[in-house]
Amino acid sequence: MWMATINLVQNNFMITPRLKTGLWITGITVAILTVAVVTIAVQTSRHGREWMVDSLQQEFKCEVELTDLHISVFPHIHIEGKGLSLHFHGRTDLPPMINVDRFSVDASYLGLLLYPHHIDTVHLQGLQINIPPKGERRSEEKASARRSIRNLHAVYFDEVISENAVLKILTTKPGKAPLEFKIEKVQMHSLGSDGELAFHSVLSIPTPPGQIDSSGTFGPWNADVPSLTPVSGQYTFENVDMGVFRGIRGTLSSKGEYQGAFEQIQVHGTTDIPNFQVDRAAHPIHISTTFKATVDGTNGDTDLHSVQAHFGHTDMTAQGSVEGHAGTNGKTVKLSVVMGHARIEDILLFAVKEPPPMTGSVGLRTEFFLAPGPQDISDRLRLNGTITLENGHFTSTTEQQMLDNMSKRGLGKPKEVQARGVVVSNDDIASTLGSKFQLDNGILTLSGLWYRIPGIDLQLHGTYNLGQETLDLHGQLAMQAKLSQTTTGVKSIFLKAADPFFSKDGKGAVIPIKITGLLKNPKYGIE
């Protein structure tokens, strides 16, 4: 055919020897390409199923099942399949590591002739990824697995699209359901010939409910230990309803960056909750944080290396963990919390319904333990720590006036005591406080509590009920002045007889007292 064509051209046109040679070369090249294309088409049609199964088995080290496969070869290669399953290391006792209900692949002949081979489009429907439980591999075995990372070194994907996929993190814990995420959409493409893929995904989180929008890179795939497959990128997590956790409310947003392997992802980011509130207190509080953490993507456990939070005029730092435990559903939160620059009025917004009754600078250290469960957070929260208060003032004029009068009596200056409701001076007495505390089941227990104002030293112990906002404190009040020096007139004369019974080391007075009733209206009395 090519000789007839060349002779025809030669008879009608002036053909030079060089042009004739070029036509021969072109004809032979086209003929070779035609034969190659036909050969690829025939071989692909005959052996496509075997090639696909063998390739997947070698690359992923899995047992592969394929229910149905159809291949068309003109005008380009188009593959459609059903029921594709990849079993991790042949583990038929586990759900398939990858299961695809339906898929399609499109590729050109030229793309397949290139190296690495180019695949135009892969479309996946009903994709389910089941990440196997983290194995008990020794560190040296993991290091070997890192060196043996597999990759689709001979294939370059121009576009991979998956819609409405499901990601499940399997667990070996008896009775515990796998962690499940819905991936509404994923788009990927190869970045090179080493198996690394760029991706953009929209992931639905069940608890707290919300969507994570993420872009980054994934791979190359580690067939020996899938949890060691590298991943990195950025994320945003917005309009998250915190009301799913009983006892609190608010709308959370977060953004950040991450990198590492599935079982050890380094994350650093920020969160913002402009309207956080504890139901029992019902005060809206704006909380913002920055954090650094390591997340185990195989089970959701998290090591919090650094959390820095800010609300009102208060700064807080924390570190700890969020982990699951055998026999329990949900995560246990353990934190070591330090407040070096804090305000008591900010902290009280989490605990009391009324406006905070006191202002002042606070230093706080506590161990924070939040157990999983259906109860309100305030009932599941346990604290164990210390607190100090400097420059404390009551916000109520009545309470502050009572404190000022106590100080004046304790100093032995009863003539300076102001009549109830009559404020002569704005020079409020400042108080200081310190205590050990424990919170358990909504009851705050105070021990070794000391409270000082000029002329008064108060030592107390007892409880505060967060739900009922009631106090039950007992202790002693030590004054600089004797009893008879705290008042004037006839009362002072009669109290001189009692001074010896309440004096301490021959000076001042020590009185057993109690503080009970509501926090907003406490009752003071002699024990």
Domain residue extents for the chain = 396-526
Contact between 68 and 45 (Cβ < 8 Å): no
Q: What pLDDT, on a 0 to 100 scale, did the predictor assign at position 366?
A: 93
Sequence-separated (6 or more) residues with CB below 8 Å from residue 67: 81, 82, 83, 84
Residue 141 to residue 166: CA distance in whole angstroms: 30
Residue 522 to residue 427: CA distance in whole angstroms: 23
Q: What pLDDT, on a 0 to 100 scale, did the predictor assign at position 450?
A: 92
Q: What pLDDT, on a 0 to 100 scale, did the predictor assign at position 215?
A: 92
Q: What pLDDT, on a 0 to 100 scale, did the predictor assign at position 521?
A: 81
* pTM: predicted TM-score of the whole model, two decimal places: 0.71
**What does the pLDDT profile of the chain (527 residues) look like in tens digits?**
444 554 544 555 455 565 555 555 665 665 555 555 555 555 555 556 677 777 777 766 778 888 888 888 778 888 888 888 888 776 777 788 888 889 898 888 787 777 777 888 989 888 888 876 665 444 434 444 444 444 445 677 888 898 888 888 776 666 566 677 788 888 888 887 677 889 998 888 777 888 889 999 988 877 777 778 888 999 999 888 888 888 888 999 999 999 998 778 899 999 999 999 888 788 899 999 999 999 887 777 889 999 999 999 999 999 999 887 766 677 888 999 999 889 999 988 888 888 888 899 999 999 999 888 777 777 888 999 999 999 988 888 877 888 888 888 888 888 888 876 555 455 568 889 899 999 998 899 999 999 898 988 989 999 999 888 899 999 998 889 888 888 888 888 888 888 888 887 767 888 898 999 987 788 888 87
Tell me the two tokens of residue 365: 């250290």
Sequence-separated (6 or more) residues with CB below 8 Å from residue 88: 62, 94, 96, 97, 132, 226
Q: What pLDDT, on a 0 to 100 scale, did the predictor assign at position 446?
A: 93
Residue 475 one-letter amino acid: G
Residue 323 one-letter amino acid: E
